[in-house]
């Protein structure tokens, strides 16, 4: 979900409580129609590949573990006494885990609530998970309230899980056979989400902070409905659950605990754990509270055995708009999944990364995603395209310069791009273009981990994660003497190869994904790509890779103007790729592979050689049919593969 949708979700979270159930369902049905769904549409779950699923689970490990180990055991009775499935999804609707009765439905109604499947309104119509995400509210979707007929055999009750910044981090759902009584299920699922939220707060703070639980009812102090606040050593509230603010009807952020309860911080600190204490809150509510102290108030000694930084906890909601969540970098391509996993691991080690890949294949977007999912994310990612800076300026741009170091330099001096990346990531794109003189200087920085600006005698220590990228074969550049061998070995710790679009195993899904993102950002109605258009895009050679795909699809979407994309919406330069791409390359081919050659159109001039004749005909028909491969194949009486062979 992008940040706009996120904002929408929080706004709705507040509204959700006031809107009637009927309105909520009606609004959802309206959205489904806008997405182009009909009641007979087949649910689309945007299934993730194997690598995608493991990345997804790795990313949400904390949420899954907390739910499974610290919350579900308290709700054992629902699992054991009823025929239902508990589903945990991330805030985009990806199912992260399920517990309970996997087969609550007859076999012929496969419910699709399986790990990796994504439940959104856009893909699966009105449904508990998707509608809870779209509205930010807890919702029960009855049998016939599902927009798609395919889902009208079940009832789902779902509630969003929020973090302490009131951002949605996931959804919990209980789904079951539509005929089972559902009276308490929605209440139960809300209670469970509160438990998950409370446990997340406990886990984040209990080691070092004092936690206070409060309730008007002393007997309910340990229930998930109680308020929970976390205070720092000075008594400031640094975190609170949703119930705390609702119960006190007060903004608690950074308020002092002594201004909230009529008791002193010292008193709270020394009160025995687990023993209720009666207080007055804000001078008007009678409350009971209980405290929980951190296990050891003493200073925690550093653990010198831990040399490496802990694996970062990936918090998706913090991703800037131009960063793709890690698991969306690939949609079932084993090679990309593997490289993403390797790079993610190496990000936390002191080893540079070198990425090879054709232009537009997604090197930079990959690096952005890596950086923002690493422990360096709070520090800058500085991306430098070495080919885009004039050779004479590369040095000063990278290393910075002293005041008045050379004519034309700003008289304020400049700290340079390397120092700007301190504690963050430096991404040197097209490193093969770097002038030799600058290479020598960069090598020194990497060896000494210090930068000396031009015209300065002072050195500045830097801590950077270096990622370089190139679309050249750097080893060849080394042989040619255009790239320093010592620098090559310095920067190529982990060598990764990002495959070009045409070689990706997840091509079709990636195209669909990019199409979905573009449609969304253009604010257009989403129509899935027709099979014909999708096949045409999948079969394209894409010399400009994903960048070119984006540009072609953007034009096609604009041309389609809200309607589904048809082949005539595709701009001409798309076909130029096909025409321009070496007919010559295939000149050596005999007709032996063209066994399917059946000439129904023997009306052209007689050519000397049947192969040339066929080639000319296919190219001519291909142009006539505006690049439609199926029609060309039909008219020429050959297979689609033969058409591709000759137009490539
Ligand atoms: N897996 C992907 N999912 C969605 N968009 C992608 C993906 N890969 C690349 N893109 C998009 O394609 C465009 C080109 O990607 P990017 O700039 O990362 O390529 P690059 O390999 O760094 O290109 P160059 O070598 O020319 O700098 C960007 O708009 C990027 O957002």
Q: Which value does ipTM take for this structure?
A: 0.98
Helices and strands (H, E) in the chain, number of each type: 25, 17
**156 Cβ inside 6 Å of ligand 1:** no
For the chain, percent of residues with pLDDT exceeding 90 = 40
**453 Cβ inside 6 Å of ligand 1:** no
Q: How far is the CA of 599 from the centre of ligand 1 (A)?
A: 43
Which CA distances in Å does 210 have to 157, 229, 266, 282?
34, 9, 12, 20
Could you tell me the pLDDT band of residue 585, with boundaries at 50, 70 and 90?
very low
**357 Cβ inside 6 Å of ligand 1:** yes
Class of domain 319-499: alpha beta
Residue located nearest, by CA, to atom 16 of ligand 1: 362
Predicted confidence at residue 31, as pLDDT, reads 95
Predicted confidence at residue 106, as pLDDT, reads 47
**514 Cβ inside 6 Å of ligand 1:** yes
Q: How far is the CA of 357 from the centre of ligand 1 (A)?
A: 10
User: Which range, 16-25, 140-149, 199-208, is most confident?
Assistant: 140-149
Q: How far is the CA of 510 from the centre of ligand 1 (A)?
A: 12
Check whether 105 has a pLDDT greater than 60.
no
**324 Cβ inside 6 Å of ligand 1:** yes
Could you tell me the pLDDT band of residue 401, with boundaries at 50, 70 and 90?
confident
Which CA distances in Å does 313 have to 202, 317, 475?
16, 12, 36
For the segment 616-635, what is each residue's pLDDT rounded down to a tens digit?
778 888 888 778 887 887 77
Q: How far is the CA of 364 from the centre of ligand 1 (A)?
A: 6
Probe target for ligand 1 pocket from 51, 365, 371, with the most ligand atoms within 8 Å of CB: 365
The arithmetic mean of pLDDT across residues 104-110, rounded, is: 50
For the segment 36-71, what is each residue's pLDDT rounded down to a tens digit?
999 999 999 887 766 788 888 888 998 999 999 889
Predicted confidence at residue 586, as pLDDT, reads 34
The arithmetic mean of pLDDT across residues 424-443, rounded, is: 91
**365 Cβ inside 6 Å of ligand 1:** yes
d(CA 390, CA 578): 34
The arithmetic mean of pLDDT across residues 11-29, rounded, is: 70
Q: Are strands 95-100 and 84-90 parallel, antiparallel or unpaired?
A: antiparallel
Scored b (16 or more CB within 10 A) or e, 587-624 reads eeeeeeebeeeeeeeeeeeeeeeebebbbebbbebbee
Predicted confidence at residue 350, as pLDDT, reads 87
Probe target for ligand 1 pocket from 369, 546, 552, with the most ligand atoms within 8 Å of CB: 546
Predicted confidence at residue 37, as pLDDT, reads 94
Q: If we measure between CA atoms, which residue out of 439, 434, 313 comes closest to residue 385?
A: 434
The arithmetic mean of pLDDT across residues 93-106, rounded, is: 76
d(CA 334, CA 111): 27
- Domain assignments of the chain as residue spans, ordered by start: 3-187, 206-292, 319-499, 503-647
Predicted confidence at residue 315, as pLDDT, reads 41
d(CA 151, CA 159): 19
Could you tell me the pLDDT band of residue 137, with boundaries at 50, 70 and 90?
very high
Q: How far is the CA of 592 from the centre of ligand 1 (A)?
A: 39
Nearest ligand 1 atom to the CA of 364 is 18
Check whether 243 has a pLDDT greater than 80.
yes
The arithmetic mean of pLDDT across residues 302-319, rounded, is: 40
Could you tell me the pLDDT band of residue 587, with boundaries at 50, 70 and 90?
very low
The arithmetic mean of pLDDT across residues 421-430, rounded, is: 92
Check whether 517 has a pLDDT greater than 70.
yes
Q: How far is the CA of 573 from the centre of ligand 1 (A)?
A: 19
**500 Cβ inside 6 Å of ligand 1:** no
Neighbours of 204 (CB within 10 A): 16
Check whether 18 has a pLDDT greater than 80.
no
**359 Cβ inside 6 Å of ligand 1:** yes
Predicted confidence at residue 107, as pLDDT, reads 46
Q: Using H for helix, E for strand and C for coil, what is the string for 177-225?
A: ECCCCCCCHHHHHHHHHHHHHHHHHHHHHCCCCEEEEEECCHHHCCCCC
Could you tell me the pLDDT band of residue 589, with boundaries at 50, 70 and 90?
very low
Q: Which CATH number fits domain 206-292: 3.40.720, 3.40.1130, 3.40.50, 3.30.450?
A: 3.30.450
Q: How far is the CA of 164 from the centre of ligand 1 (A)?
A: 33
**238 Cβ inside 6 Å of ligand 1:** no
d(CA 519, CA 514): 8
Provide the CATH number for the domain formed by 3-187 in this structure. Answer: 3.30.450.40
Nearest ligand 1 atom to the CA of 366 is 18
Nearest ligand 1 atom to the CA of 368 is 18
**115 Cβ inside 6 Å of ligand 1:** no
Predicted confidence at residue 38, as pLDDT, reads 95
Q: How far is the CA of 147 from the centre of ligand 1 (A)?
A: 36
Check whether 582 has a pLDDT greater than 60.
no
Could you tell me the pLDDT band of residue 580, with boundaries at 50, 70 and 90?
low
For the segment 328-353, what is each residue's pLDDT rounded down to a tens digit?
899 999 999 999 999 999 998 889 99
Predicted confidence at residue 613, as pLDDT, reads 66
Neighbours of 437 (CB within 10 A): 11
Q: How far is the CA of 501 from the centre of ligand 1 (A)?
A: 10
Q: How far is the CA of 546 from the centre of ligand 1 (A)?
A: 6
Do 3-187 and 206-292 fold alike per CATH?
yes
Q: How far is the CA of 538 from the centre of ligand 1 (A)?
A: 17
3-state secondary structure of 401: strand
**217 Cβ inside 6 Å of ligand 1:** no
**327 Cβ inside 6 Å of ligand 1:** no
**534 Cβ inside 6 Å of ligand 1:** no
Which CA distances in Å does 496 have to 353, 471, 545?
7, 12, 17
Q: How far is the CA of 191 from the centre of ligand 1 (A)?
A: 43
**362 Cβ inside 6 Å of ligand 1:** yes
Residue located nearest, by CA, to atom 13 of ligand 1: 547
For the beta sheet containing 154-162, the strands, ordered from the edge strand earlier in sequence to the opposite edge, are: 95-100, 84-90, 168-177, 154-162, 139-141
Residues 6+ apart with CB under 8 A from 326: 55, 59, 314, 340, 344, 369, 370, 373
H or E, element range at 259: helix 257-260
User: Which range, 152-161, 322-331, 571-580, 597-606, is most confident?
Assistant: 152-161
d(CA 39, CA 44): 13
Predicted confidence at residue 262, as pLDDT, reads 93
Predicted confidence at residue 179, as pLDDT, reads 64
The arithmetic mean of pLDDT across residues 477-489, rounded, is: 92
The arithmetic mean of pLDDT across residues 579-599, rounded, is: 35
Could you tell me the pLDDT band of residue 296, with boundaries at 50, 70 and 90?
very low
Q: How far is the CA of 86 from the centre of ligand 1 (A)?
A: 38
Which CA distances in Å does 262 have to 234, 265, 268, 631?
16, 10, 11, 81
The arithmetic mean of pLDDT across residues 17-44, rounded, is: 90
Tokens (6 digits) for 92: 């985009």
Check whether 10 has a pLDDT greater than 60.
no
Residues making up the chain, counted from first to last: 648
For the segment 354-373, what is each residue's pLDDT rounded down to a tens digit?
999 998 999 999 999 999 98
Q: How far is the CA of 555 from the centre of ligand 1 (A)?
A: 17
Give me the chain's average pLDDT, please: 81
Predicted confidence at residue 616, as pLDDT, reads 77
Residue located nearest, by CA, to atom 2 of ligand 1: 329
**pLDDT top residue among 281 and 81:** 281
Nearest ligand 1 atom to the CA of 550 is 12
pTM above 0.80, yes or no: no
Provide the CATH number for the domain formed by 503-647 in this structure. Answer: 1.10.8.60
**360 Cβ inside 6 Å of ligand 1:** yes
Check whether 11 has a pLDDT greater than 50.
no
Virtual CA dihedral for 195, 200, 206, 207, nearest 10 degrees?
A: 150
The arithmetic mean of pLDDT across residues 460-488, rounded, is: 91
d(CA 129, CA 138): 9
d(CA 55, CA 48): 10
Q: How far is the CA of 367 from the centre of ligand 1 (A)?
A: 10
Q: How far is the CA of 549 from the centre of ligand 1 (A)?
A: 10
Could you tell me the pLDDT band of residue 170, with boundaries at 50, 70 and 90?
very high
**209 Cβ inside 6 Å of ligand 1:** no
Predicted confidence at residue 568, as pLDDT, reads 85
Q: How far is the CA of 365 from the centre of ligand 1 (A)?
A: 5
Nearest ligand 1 atom to the CA of 385 is 27
Q: How far is the CA of 525 from the centre of ligand 1 (A)?
A: 24
Tokens (6 digits) for 113: 């609530």
Predicted confidence at residue 78, as pLDDT, reads 63
Q: Crossing angle of helices 531-538/629-636, nearest 10°?
A: 90
Q: Which of 251-255, 440-444, 552-556, 607-611 is the least confident region?
A: 607-611
For the segment 179-217, what is each residue's pLDDT rounded down to a tens digit?
666 668 888 899 999 999 999 998 888 888 899 999 998
**363 Cβ inside 6 Å of ligand 1:** yes
Predicted confidence at residue 193, as pLDDT, reads 95
Tokens (6 digits) for 247: 């119960």
Q: Which one-letter DSSP state was computed for residue 598?
A: -
**243 Cβ inside 6 Å of ligand 1:** no
């Amino acid at each position: 979900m992008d940040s706009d949708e996120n904002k929408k979700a929080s706004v709705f979270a507040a509204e959700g409580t006031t809107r009637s159930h009927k309105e909520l369902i009606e609004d959802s049905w309206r959205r489904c129609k806008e997405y182009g769904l009909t009641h007979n549409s087949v649910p689309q779950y945007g299934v993730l590949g194997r690598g995608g699923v493991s990345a997804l689970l790795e990313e949400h490990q904390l949420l899954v573990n907390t739910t499974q180990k610290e919350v579900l055991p308290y709700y054992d009775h629902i699992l054991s006494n009823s025929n239902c499935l508990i589903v945990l999804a991330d805030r985009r609707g990806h199912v992260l885990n399920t517990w309970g009765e996997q087969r609550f439905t007859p076999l012929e109604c496969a419910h699709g609530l399986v790990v990796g499947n994504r439940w959104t309104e856009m893909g699966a119509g009105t449904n508990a998970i998707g509608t809870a995400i779209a509205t930010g509210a807890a919702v029960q979707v009855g049998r016939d309230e599902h927009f798609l007929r395919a889902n009208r055999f079940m009832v789902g009750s779902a509630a969003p899980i929020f973090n302490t910044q009131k951002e949605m981090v996931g959804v919990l759902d209980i789904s079951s056979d539509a005929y089972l009584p559902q009276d308490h299920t929605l209440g139960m699922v809300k209670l469970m989400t509160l438990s998950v939220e409370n446990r997340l707060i406990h886990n984040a703070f209990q080691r070092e902070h004092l936690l206070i639980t409060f309730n008007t009812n002393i007997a309910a102090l340990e229930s998930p409905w109680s308020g929970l606040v976390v205070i720092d050593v000075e008594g400031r509230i640094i975190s609170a659950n949703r119930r705390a603010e609702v119960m006190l009807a007060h903004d608690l952020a950074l308020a002092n605990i002594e201004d909230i309860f009529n008791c002193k911080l010292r008193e709270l600190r020394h009160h025995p754990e687990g023993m209720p204490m009666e207080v007055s809150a804000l001078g008007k509510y009678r409350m009971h509270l209980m405290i929980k102290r951190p296990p050891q108030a003493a200073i925690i000694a550093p653990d010198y055995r831990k040399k490496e930084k802990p694996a970062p906890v990936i918090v998706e909601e913090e991703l800037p708009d131009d960063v793709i969540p890690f698991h969306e970098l690939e949609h079932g391509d084993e090679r990309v999944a593997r490289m993403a996993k390797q790079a993610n691991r190496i990000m936390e080690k002191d080893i540079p990364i070198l990425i090879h890949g054709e232009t537009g294949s997604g090197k930079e977007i990959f690096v952005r995603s890596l950086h923002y999912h690493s422990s360096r994310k709070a520090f800058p990612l500085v991306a430098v395209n070495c080919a885009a800076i004039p050779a004479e300026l590369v040095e000063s741009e990278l290393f910075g310069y002293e005041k008045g170091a050379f004519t034309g330099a700003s008289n304020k001096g400049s700290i340079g791009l390397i120092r700007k990346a301190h504690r963050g990531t430096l991404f040197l794109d097209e490193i093969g273009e770097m002038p030799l003189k600058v290479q020598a200087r960069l090598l020194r920085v990497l060896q000494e981990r210090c930068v000396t600006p031009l015209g300065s005698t002072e050195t500045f220590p830097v801590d950077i994660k270096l990622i370089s990228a190139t679309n050249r074969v750097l080893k060849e550049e080394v042989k040619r003497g255009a790239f320093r061998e010592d620098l090559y070995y310095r920067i190529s710790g982990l060598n990764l190869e990002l495959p070009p679009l045409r070689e990706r195993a997840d091509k079709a899904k990636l195209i669909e994904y990019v199409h979905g993102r573009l449609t969304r950002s253009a604010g257009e109605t989403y129509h899935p790509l027709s099979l014909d258009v999708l096949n045409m895009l999948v079969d394209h050679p894409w010399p400009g890779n994903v960048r070119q795909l984006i540009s072609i699809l953007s034009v096609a979407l604009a041309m389609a103007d809200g309607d589904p994309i048809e082949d005539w919406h595709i701009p001409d330069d798309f076909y130029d790729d096909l025409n321009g791409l070496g007919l010559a390359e295939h000149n050596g081919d005999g007709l032996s592979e063209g066994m399917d050659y059946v000439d129904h159109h023997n009306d052209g001039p007689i050519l000397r050689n049947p192969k040339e004749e066929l080639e000319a005909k296919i190219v001519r028909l291909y142009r006539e049919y505006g690049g439609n491969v199926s029609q060309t194949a039909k008219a020429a009486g050959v297979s689609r593969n033969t058409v591709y062979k000759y137009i490539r």
